[in-house]
Amino acid sequence: MEQNEASSVPPPPPPSGAPAPEERQWAMFAHLSALLGGLLTSAIGGWGFFLGPLVIWLMKKDTMPFVADQAKEALNFNITVSAIFVILLILTLFTLGLGAILTLPAMLIVGIGALILIVMAAIKANEGVAYRYPFAVRLVSKTPSPSAGASSPADAFRRIPGPRVATWLASACATPIIMSSRYGSGGSRRWKP
Confirm whether 140 is domain-assigned: no
Confirm whether 128 is domain-assigned: yes
Confirm whether 38 is domain-assigned: yes
Number of domains in the chain: 1
Confirm whether 39 is domain-assigned: yes
User: pLDDT (tens digit, 0 to 9) for every residue of the chain, 193 residues total?
Assistant: 555 554 565 655 555 678 999 999 999 999 999 999 888 887 776 678 889 999 999 999 999 999 999 999 999 999 999 899 889 989 999 999 899 999 999 999 999 999 999 999 999 999 999 999 998 999 988 654 444 444 444 444 444 444 454 444 444 444 444 444 444 555 556 666 6
Contact by Cβ (8 Å): 107, 90: no
Question: Domain range for residue 129?
Answer: 18-135+152-190
Confirm whether 146 is domain-assigned: no
Confirm whether 169 is domain-assigned: yes
Question: For residues 37 and 69, what is the distance between their CA atoms, to the nearest angstrom?
Answer: 19
Confirm whether 65 is domain-assigned: yes
Confirm whether 13 is domain-assigned: no
